[in-house]
Every structure is written in structure tokens, then in C-alpha cells.
A and B are shown apart, each in its own frame.
Chain A
Amino acid sequence: MNLFGWAQAVIFLLLVLLVTRPLGAYMARVFEGERTWFQPVFAPLERAFYRLCRIDPATEMSAASYLLATLAFSLIGLVYLYALLRTQKWLPLNPQHFDNLPADSAWNVAVSFMTNTNWQFYSGESTMSYLSQIAGLAWHNFVSAAVGITIAIAVIRGVTRTDRTTVGNFWVDVTRATLYVLLPISIAGCLLLVSQGIPQNFHAYQDVVSIEGFRQTITGGPMASQEVIKELGTNGGGFVNANSASPNENPTPLSNLLEMFLIFCIGAGLTYTYGRYAKDQRQGWALFVAMAILFAAGFTVAYASESAGNPLVHALGVSGGNMEGKECRFGVAASSLFAAVTTDTSCGAVNAMHDSFTPLGGLVPLANMQLGEIVYGGVGTGLYGMILFVVLTVFIAGLMVGRTPEYLGKKIERSHVQYAILAALVLPVFALIPTAISVLVPAGTATLGNAGAHGFSELLYGFTSTTENNGSAFAGLGGNTYFNILMGVVMLCGRFLFLIPAVLLAGSLAGKPRAPVTSGTFQTHSPVFVGLLIGVIIIVGALTFFPADALGPIVEHLQMLHGKSF
């Protein structure tokens, strides 16, 4: 560890802190239909779109209707992408003449992008036509992110509203999230990335002769536009297989910083948006601080472990941190930072191979996901995931002060606890049970890249990543029909079985009166509460996954110390 490495993390977090307030306030204005900078440009477009689709932007929906709209919209998107992938051979913009995807792959990819997971068993540069990339994958990169933000806004409205029992209009929210939030930032970010050298073209791949005299194929395509939304929407699906480790997707330290910034900015901004809606910014900052502490803890462990390196390698006379699977232009600090950022959120983009991290360094991305990706989190999903944790914390803490627990002055009662627990069950059910099935069936272990504890970590990581809609892989896990189908189901359940109780919880809180604050109510923005919130998040996550992790990265780490490798 060195000062330069720490400085990168501090500068990064400061940038995120700087953008939180303006972006958060802007989003609050956007979703309440107030005037913003971009209104002159987008408002006519927005209105025309509503007229075309016969949407009355003034009509609000109940939580149930909001959910139905979300599900219908997502289902249509799923069918559309599946159809596109199954027919890309006959469609335009396919200069490399890629074949149609087989049914199980198409299913996996379609679910993966629709659920904002972007788990990739394929290599984009040898599978996807340009049309599939821009009209299929990029489109989902936008709308799946927009749906996440939309759900977060609906949940925020439900939790904070006292006057209405509705949670907003899904069609309006999803339109505004795309037009006013994702599009402007993407355009600006895209230009910045192009300035760093990321390709943006429709050329066929070029065969060139390198300086050493070897023939090499240089991939091209509309990469920068895809890259920006990949990060901004916490999608993470790379244009090429090497993802952000590839010099085409992430050429410079500056592009690296920019990409990490894009991953965190909306999630962080939403905490401020939340404070706006709650009419108490401290509520938003409390969540921000809790997230920042968890982020710092994860990064510190990963950075320390990667810097310490592998004693087995040191024994061979190679000193320094663990550089296996890392890009020289990023090094240990930036790789550890990127790994923490991409798994704190549901992004899943990678600039280094998590599989090659030291066991404890690799435990950090895994643990980040196991805690529920609530550290700024996936766009939107992080915030409503955090709110579910807050509800659980408030319930336990509230009891300890001798009152029926309240959050923002609203009593937390049976139904709310029920929804929060239902959501909390999703991760253990869909991460642990499929892993258990996979270690038992031949198809599950057939494609494992490694044996023993490390192979187990690969499986556990894969199902945790897909349940949490992260999409980063520990690698080492080869795609086959079994994984394509099972992980498709896991991604679908991980997204929607979590999102449904979150919205229903918000719906049942919407319209409840806020009890006045007295000295008998504890503050949900105090340091004690933030500490307790972090404690609940860590304990719930740790208690659920400790046995599994003990058999994976933890025992692997202990074995490494005893000189054993896989």
C-alpha cells in the first residue's frame, strides 16, 4: 500500500461526494416534473411521446399497478431482445457475419441485459452483431437502468409521502429517467471517453501487423457509447470479453477514474434525492455515510490483501503485490478500487480478473455482493436495497428504545417487516441453493476452471453475482446449457422477487401520517443509527454467507498461508 494508491481512492470518493448534491437535487426536480436545464430540449419530445402512447402524465399509480407496468415493460423487453439475438444473422449491421445465438444463450443474454445484470458467457467481439450491440444490448443498458432508478423513485415516494397513497406513474418515470438523467450524462461521458481513445465506429475489424511483426485483429464498433452506459447504468456488460481491462474499453488511468465515477454517481446522487423527498437531507446523508464507510472498508481489505501479495509467489523471488490478472497501466490500487466499486454496485464491469485476486482480495467483491450491493449500489436498486435494510434496522433498534418502531415518523408494522424479510430471503435462496445443486450435479462442476476451495468460490461467486444482478464473474466458470438456463432463472428471480416486495413495502407506507418527532423517538440520522445500520448489514450478510465463504475464499486464504495452491 502506498500514498499514491490511497490518494486515488480519496480523490475518487471526493469526486463522488461533489456530484451527489447537484445530481441528487437535479433528479428530484426531474421526477417531480419541475423545471430543469434540459426541459426546453426534451419536454416537447416527452410530450409527443406521451401523446403517441396515450399516457396521461398526471395520473398516478398504486404500488400494484406500478409493479404491473414494470413487469409488462420488462417482459416485452425480454421477448424483443431474445428475438433479436435469434435473428441477427439476417439483420443489418453485421459486418463480421455472426451467426444467430442458440436458444439457451439467447435466453441467458436476454435475461441478463433486461435485468441489468450483464452476465456474459459469450465474448461480445465474436458473437454480437453491431445491431445486437446497439439496438439490443445498449437499449437494455439504458432501460434496465432507467427501470432501476424508476423503482427507487417509487420506493422513495412511498416511504416519504404522507398525502397520497400512490407512488407515481411508471411510464412517466421511466421516460424521464432515460431522457433527463441517463441520456445527457451518457452523451457527455461518451465524448470524454472518445477523447481518451475508445473507438466509436461501424467498421469491420481490422487486421494489422504489429510492431513485433505479428498479425493482429483490432476490434472496432460503437464502443464508447456502449461503454458509458455500461458504467453509468451499472450494467457492466463489456463490448469485448476483456471488459474494462481491454485497452479499447478503458485505455487510460483517466478513463478508469471516469468509469468508476460513472458507476457510483447516480447511486450516490439518489441518496440526496431521497433526502429531498424526505424533506430532511440528513436522512439522505446518513445513508450516504453508511455506504461510504462500507465502501472504504471493502476497498481497504482488498487493497491491503492485493498489496501484500501471495507468499507462494514471493517464495519464488517475485516481490511486491499481486499483479496476476491485473493490467500494468492500472496496478494494484486502481484494480482493487475498481473491483470494490463494481461490486459495491450491481455494475460488474471489471478492469482486472477477480479470479486471480488473492483469496481475501477476491472475498471483497464476493462479500460486497453478499451484503446486497447497497453501497451506492446498482442504479436505484442500491437505494431501495438500503431502505429495506433501514426498515429492518429501525424495527430492531426501535424496539430497543421502547416504542413501536418508526421511520420518518411512520410506524413500521407487521406488513412492512414481512416485505423486508421477503426481500432479504431472495439472496440466500437464489445464491446458496443453486450453488448447492451445482456442486452435486455433473453439469455444475464440469466447466469449473479450478478444483477444491477455489473452484467452489467460482460457483458461489457466479450465483451470487447473478442473483444480485451484478454480472461480474470470477471467471473460471465456463458457459453451458445448464448454467445458461439456471442462471437466467436466477437473474430473473434476483431482480424481480426483490423489487416486488420493495415496491409493495413503499406502497403500504405511502400516505401514512408522520408522527411528530419527540425525545422518545430516536433519530435515524445519528451516528449511532448509522453504526447500527452498518452492523445489521454486515451481520445479516455474514451470518448468511459465513459457512459458504469459510469453505471458499477463507479456507483458501488459510491454505495459501500454509503453502497450498490450486
Chain B
Amino acid sequence: MISERRLDRRPKARSLFDRAILSRAVIDAFRKLDPRWQFRNPVMFVCEIGALVTLLFFLRDLRTHGPAGFDFAISVWLWFTVLFANFAEAVAEGRGKAQADFLRRTKSDTKARRVVAGREEVISSTELRKGDVFRVDAGELIAADGDVIAGAATVDESAITGESAPVIREAGGDRSSVTGGTRVLSDSILVQVTANPGEAFLDRMISLVEGAKRQKTPNEIALSILISGLTIIFLIAVATLSPYSIYAHTAQSVTVLIALLVCLIPTTIGGLLSAIGIAGMDRVLQRNVLAMSGRAVEASGDVDTLLLDKTGTITLGNRQATEFLPAPGIRIEDVARAAYLSSLSDETPEGRSIVVLSEQYGAAQGGKPADATFVPFSAYTRMSGVDVPGAAPIRKGAPDSIRTWAREQGAANADVLSAEVDRIARAGGTPLLLAQGGTILGAIQLKDILKPAMQQRFDRLRKMGIRTIMITGDNPLTAATIARESGVDDFLAEATPETKMALIRREQESGRLVAMTGDGTNDAPALAQADVGVAMNSGTQAAKEAANMVDLDSDPTKLIEIVEIGKQLLMTRGALTTFSIANDVAKYFAILPAMFRLAYPEIDALNVMHLSTAQSAILSAVIFNALIIIALIPLALRGVKYRPVGANIVLRDNVLWYGIGGVIVPFIGIKLIDALLTALHLT
């Protein structure tokens, strides 16, 4: 009854310059010539009008035998300028569109077994409404987004996340949400629908990756205003140049004036601006994070404070044995051997870690006893252990329980190691005592293990100007220790949803932008309050709805990468704006002497590039202006590399590269093009 078509995995990565994407982009570039589309981008709109006007002049020249060849060449290159900009945008959109196509195929009309008053009825998935409950069995597709209200199942979410490893979804707790279009692999669950058809996660995902409802982000709008303002300034400068040149008895043709105008207006950034934004969103998607808006990605570049959950983000999430402390007079090898024996059958992560540690002391050499009886941990005894025939029983557990037990066995040293036990507790670890018969052998230190390389990550964040705050349910003492060891800047101990919320508000009131990750329902208010909230895909529906991003991999450290993408986005815009404006200097030196050489031969002193003829000078500048857009597409799509070395240094380097470089490059480029045109006798 339910389609048995095997699910494809969503392709995670695809080359930016995939052949299919490129050929589609070429077609789109022409489609985007539609003036209604261009109108949204004032700089390129001016450029397109210029292309159109020069084309009309070319047509007139054909009739009147004017300088048709020159007008034609200028017009063609102005059209290319517009097309190149369109192409950049189309390539940026390409990968998202390919993803959207794939997701649309996933979205097939499935059947669902709706449960009404205890009875099941088979309906189409499109008939499911919010609040309905349906059953899904192993091998079936989940018909709609929802929360598991009964049962647990392994689910293959690869259609959405691209990850082939199945995940567990179960009723209650923070792993209850399921997504329509994914497949149950084992067991059976009851799901309550949380989204009507058309509003489902998959629908939102399609429209997001496709960029169908893409809105300009605040910063993008501000930058558009800046470059539109510059365009107006240049429009005035060039338009008034016409009467000035008439006064100087060297009236200029409209084609030449338009060529100058298009070279001056910031077409480089104007043409690439939307591509930069789309590519930024796309880079986030490549990291398997679904951003609900470009605004959120942009804001993540501004984050000042990062709230990180301790468990799973900073620590591995389970405690591990790190050290044996023998009691006076006991050899550490004996401690290790006893610990080894007592933990052989202990399947808890702590138990396994004790075995691993004790093996370092050669504890495994004595072999495994054949007929040992494992005594499992119970909340009542608060210890576990092993009884080996012919030897005294071994117990490990909470220090006070072990002392009591040892005393009962007639121990003489029941009070040893109290200083060590205290020290371990104070340092944020968990102390266990180990005893055999009437003798306390030693203490075992269990510790939260920090994820590797976290210290470097926090250093990197600090250099980016971001303060990290660890959120933990631990007591302040333990929290302080872990905070110190991991290198976070601050911590919130004994955290509750309320204190978390208060912390976010406090940070925001002092002008900081806060980012956090979360998965549980009780994280939802904080996720909504934070400026950047990233919900784990494994989390609850409430958390996902409150957040402005969803991490499909459910990796809390992903936030750091998102921050870098946000920064790259802004940096790329700034760098290309600077480059675009700096380019104008060379273009003036190319075009102005060419324009006024007839009236004022002396002005050739400004022709510092020694361009061959007036026409080749102007044409070279126009060609350079068009080609630079193509040349910068890879940079616009990949983004300027971000290095966390402090803002002042980043500023200095980028000013050198894109400011000073932006002044120099066109001098070289225009000269080369001119030399080429001259060599090929094209002017």
C-alpha cells in the first residue's frame, strides 16, 4: 500500500562548477535579461539600459554610416557585462536548484494510516491535517511531519540529511520529531501531525534551497543603497561631462559617455552582490545546516556570545576513568587488577573505560577468571563488583558506600584516601573507591572527557571576538573546573531554562548578539530569544520551529562554522565593493585622455598606460570591466577566506589586497587587453 521505491540519499556536495549547473546557468543568464528582473538591481539596470542605447546607436550608424564597428563592440561588451552578472547569480542559484529538484522527487504522494478513535483508515498523505495521528511500520515512508507519541523506531533520514546511518526516534524526550519523506527501518510508531501539507519541513526546505522566496538581507540592502548612491554620483559626473565637453569644443558621442558611465558605476559588486548572498546560504547548506533566512546567516557573523551546552559539545558526554590512586601500602598494579576484574562484565561506559585504563597497567595479564559472578550496580547499594571463587569479593562504588561495606568486612584502613576523594570531587571529577574484602585498595578517578582540540577552537573563537559561555547542569565547582580545562570564557552552572533565558537577555541588553544551539522543548524559548538559534534535527519540533537554523547533522559545534560563513559573507561583500571602487581610478586614466585627446592634445600626459588609440582605450576599459566580473565569480561564490587574527589585522590585509590591489590590477588588465586588441588589429 505504501510505495516501495528505494530512497535516494540527498546528494550532500556537488561541485560549484558542475557541468549541468553551468549549462543551466547560461540559459538563465539570458532569461534574467528581462528588465523587470534587472530593475531589482539598480546598478545592473543602468548597465542594461546603456547596452540597449548603444545598440540603438549602432543600428542608427548602420543607416548613417557612423562608427558602427566601435558602437557595436561597445554594445556587445555592455551586454556581456549584464550577462556575466546574470550568469554569476544563476551559478550561485544552480546548486540550490539541483537540490530542490531532488527534494521534490522525494516528496511523493504516500498513503498514511490515520488512527481515529482506535481504528485505522488508509488515506492519502495530503489529507493529513495538524493534530491527526497516524501509524507507521517498518519499511514505510513517514507521511507527514510530526512528533512520535508512542513507540520508538530507527529512521532513515538520508533523503534529507544525506547521512546514511539510521537515527532513533522515540516518544517523549528530545528525539521525538520525525520528518515527512523519511523512512522507518524497524519497529512501529504513532505520530501526531504537526504541519499541514505545503507547510511541511520538506516544503520549507525546498523553497529555502531553491531561494524562491529569497529576500534581501538588511546588510545587503544597506550595501545596495551605497552602490546605488555611487551610481547616481557617477551618472551626474558623466552626464555633466557632456556639456563640459561641448564647452571645450570636443562634444562626445553618447556611446563613449555610456562606456565611461558603465566603467565607473560599481558593476563588479553590483553584478555579484546577489550571487554572494545566495552562495553564502548555499555554503551553509553544504554544511548540512538549513537556514530559515539569509538574515540569520548574516547575523551569525556578528555573534559576540556563544552559548554551548557542556554535554555533547564540550565534553564527550560520558565520564571515563583517568587515574588510579592506590591506598598507602598498596601497589598500583593490584589496584588496576582488582578494578579490571570488577569491571569486566560492567557494560556501562564508565565500566568499559575502567577496563581500558587498567589494561595499561597490565591488568589483563592474569587472564579472565572462568567462574566469576558479577554483582551489578543498584541504586540501593550504590556499588557493583565481582565475586571470584577462592578470593575475597571486590567492590567499587560511591566512597561512603564502599567505606561502610569495608568496615562491615572488618577493614582496618576504611578511612584512607579521604583527601584524595575530596580533591577529585573538587576538580570536577567523580571519585570511586575500590575495595577487596576488608581492604580499601584505592580510588578511581572518573572524569568528563573534553572533546579533543576544543581548546584550539575556543582560542579561535576568542580571536574572532566571540565569547563562549558553557551551559551545564553541574554544580558551580565542577563547572568551573571543566570551564578552566576546556578554555571557555565563562560558564552557567546549575542551568535551568529560566537562567538560560535570563543569561541571553542580559547579554543582549549589553549590546551583544547571542547564538546558541539546543534540541529540547525547554530550549525553545531560549532558541527563539537568541539572535542565532540552531536547533538539532534530532531535537523536538518545538525547538526546530523556534530556531532560525536547523542542523541536519545534529552537531552542536557546527555553530562555529556557521559563524565563519556569516563573516565570510560580509567580508566578500566589503572586499568586492572596495575592489570595485578602487578599479575606477585606472578606468579614468584610460578613458578621459582618449575622450579629450582631440581638443587638448596635451592631455595625453594622463595616458599613463600608453594605450594605442582612443577607441582601443575605451573598449579595453569596457572589456576589462566585463571580464573582471567573470574572473571574480569563483571568489564571490567561495567567499573571501576568513582568518581569525583580530579585526585590525584583517582590515589591514584586506585594504592592501582589495583596496591597493584594486587600484593596480586594472592598470595591468586594461593595458594587456589594449595590447591584445592592437595586436589582433581589432580597433
Contact = CB atoms under 8 A, between A and B. Distances in A.
A416 B229 CA distance: 13
Contacts of B582: 539
Contact of A520 (B464, B568, B573): B464
Nearest to B639: A402
B246 A403 contact: no
A555 B244 contact: no
B602 A559 contact: yes
Interface stretch (A41-49, A114-122, A222-230, A435-443): A435-443
A554 to B, nearest CB: 8
B412 interface: no
A395 B574 CA distance: 8
Interface string A480-516: 0000000000000000000000000000000001111
A551 to B, nearest CB: 5
A519 B571 CA distance: 16
Interface in A391-442: 392, 395-404, 409, 412-414, 416-418, 421-422, 424-425, 428-429, 432-433, 435-437, 439-440
Contact of A401 (B242, B463, B650): B650
A156 to B, nearest CB: 20
A400 B241 CA distance: 33
Given A399-B574, A528-B648, A548-B244, A558 B602 contact: yes
Contacts of A513: 509-511
A interface, size bucket = 35 or more
B574 A424 contact: no
Given A409-B511, A439-B244, A548-B241, A519 B574 contact: no
A520 B465 contact: yes
B226 interface: yes
A400 B646 contact: no
A520 B298 CA distance: 15
Nearest to A441: B243
B238 A547 contact: yes
Interface string A378-398: 000000000000001001111
Residue picked from B464, B602, B659, most chain A C-beta under 10 Å: B602
A562 interface: yes
A445 B465 CA distance: 59
A395 B222 contact: yes
A421 B226 CA distance: 7
A543 interface: yes
Contact of B233 (A424, A435, A532): A424
Contact of A399 (B232, B260, B570): B570
A450 interface: no
A456 B221 contact: no
A440 B251 CA distance: 12
B86 interface: no
B512 A515 contact: yes
Interface in B302-329: 302, 304
B58 interface: no
Interface string B440-470: 0000000000000000000000111111000
Nearest to A517: B465
Interface string A251-264: 00000000000000
B625 interface: no
Contact of B234 (A439, A543, A555): A543
Among A402, A416, A520, A564, chain B packs the most CB atoms within 10 A around the CB of A402
B67 interface: no
Given A396-B578, A404-B570, A515-B304, A546 B588 contact: yes
Interface residues of B, number: 76
B465 A425 contact: no
Where chain B touches its partner, the secondary structure class is helix
Contacts of A241: none
A519 B646 contact: yes
A548 B602 contact: no
B219 interface: yes
Given A513-B511, A528-B651, A558-B605, A400 B244 contact: no
A523 interface: yes
B503 interface: no
A436 B246 CA distance: 10
Given A400-B575, A522-B651, A532-B655, A432 B236 contact: yes
Given A516-B510, A520-B465, A528-B651, A428 B237 contact: yes
B596 interface: yes
B259 to A, nearest CB: 13
A548 B244 CA distance: 7
Contacts of A545: 237
Contacts of A440: 243, 246-247
B539 interface: no
B183 to A, nearest CB: 40
A53 B148 CA distance: 74
Interface string A80-111: 00000000000000000000000000000000
A550 interface: yes
Given A399-B573, A414-B222, A417-B226, A550 B602 contact: no
A526 B650 CA distance: 13
A515 B578 contact: no
B424 interface: no
Contact of B248 (A396, A412, A416, A551): A551
Please name the 6 residue pairs, one residue from A and one from B, whose CB atoms are nearest each other, closest first: A520-B465, A399-B574, A402-B567, A421-B229, A518-B465, A400-B574
19 contacts: A392-B226, A401-B647, A404-B219, A425-B229, A432-B236, A436-B242, A440-B246, A453-B600, A513-B510, A518-B465, A518-B467, A520-B464, A531-B655, A543-B234, A546-B592, A548-B241, A551-B241, A555-B600, A558-B602
Interface of B: 218-219, 221-223, 225-226, 228-230, 232-234, 236-248, 260, 264, 298, 301-302, 304, 462-467, 509-513, 566-568, 570-571, 573-575, 577-578, 581-582, 584-585, 588, 592, 596, 600, 602-603, 605-606, 642, 646-648, 650-652, 654-655, 658-659
Interface of A: 392, 395-404, 409, 412-414, 416-418, 421-422, 424-425, 428-429, 432-433, 435-437, 439-440, 445, 452-453, 456, 513-516, 518-523, 526, 528-529, 531-532, 535, 539-540, 542-548, 550-551, 554-555, 558-559, 561-562, 564
Given A402-B650, A414-B225, A559-B600, 13 more contacts: A395-B222, A399-B574, A402-B566, A402-B567, A404-B219, A417-B222, A433-B240, A436-B243, A437-B243, A440-B247, A456-B248, A519-B463, A531-B655
